[in-house]
Amino acid sequence: PAAKFTRDTTQGKVRMSLSLTRAIGALVWLLVSADSADEATLVSLSPDEGTVGTALEIRLSGDVGTKTPRVWMTRAGDPSPKPRRTKLKVASFALAGDGSMTLNASFKKTKTGAGLYDLHVRPKGKGLSEQVFAGAFTIVAPQLSDVSPDEALAKTEVTLTGSAFGGPKKPKVRAIPNDGGKAKKLKVLAVNADGSLQLRLPK
């Protein structure tokens, strides 16, 4: 609607009529709606916990563009201006008919250890902004449940059973003497289908 003005001769001020106020309100609503439409929304992240090498499926909706977005994680609650990033490598992505996007991704390493992480998504495209999804993923630390045998000679083989050992690359394993001394590297011979590790003891 066109703006209309009236003059208040007693105060010498120009007052906007109600029609202009409504016009401004409509414009603000359109701007807010446009911004909201540009925001990506996290539909699901599966699984919601894992470790290095865990295959992740990220489903997004909203305006996520038509190209592979940049995705990474940062430690939840990190107060630093530039938190350290755990980069996610996207192996593939697919757009659905409803405009949603599915990403298949994983991470090779993290410098910030186990804990709760925020997921960051930066779509590619003009006017698309980065979105942060708080507490979306938990990185779990390796858990050891059994060593077999629990006593062995140097240069013989042992099996470690547990979880969150990482993959698909072989993890690094070291043995630290209880009475002190330098940690010794154990050679990882195989990562078994059940997640256990086959190792050779050092000299």
Cα of 179 vs its chain's centroid, Å = 40
What are the tens digits of pLDDT across the range 89-106? 999 999 988 889 999 999
Provide the pLDDT for residue 38: 59
Give me the mean pLDDT over the 69-92 stretch: 96
What's the whole-number average pLDDT of the chain? 84
Q: Mean pLDDT throughout 152-164?
A: 94
Look at residue 180 in the predicted model and tell me its pLDDT. 84
Residue 85 DSSP class: E
Q: What is the pLDDT of residues 20-44, one digit of tens each?
A: 444 454 444 444 444 444 588 999 9
pLDDT exceeds cutoff 70 at 121 = yes
Say whether pLDDT at 71 is over 80: yes
pLDDT band at 195 (very low <50, low <70, confident <90, very high): confident
What SS3 string covers the chain? Answer: CCCCEEEECCCCEEEECHHHHHHHHHHHHHHHHHHHHHCEEEEEEECCEECCCCCEEEEEEECCCCCCCEEEEEECCCCCCCCCEEECEEEEEEECCCCCEEEEEECCCCCCCCEEEEEEEECCCCCCCCEEEEEEEEECCCEEEEEECCCCCCCCEEEEEEECCCCCCCCCEEECCCCCCCCEEEEEEEECCCCCEEEECCC
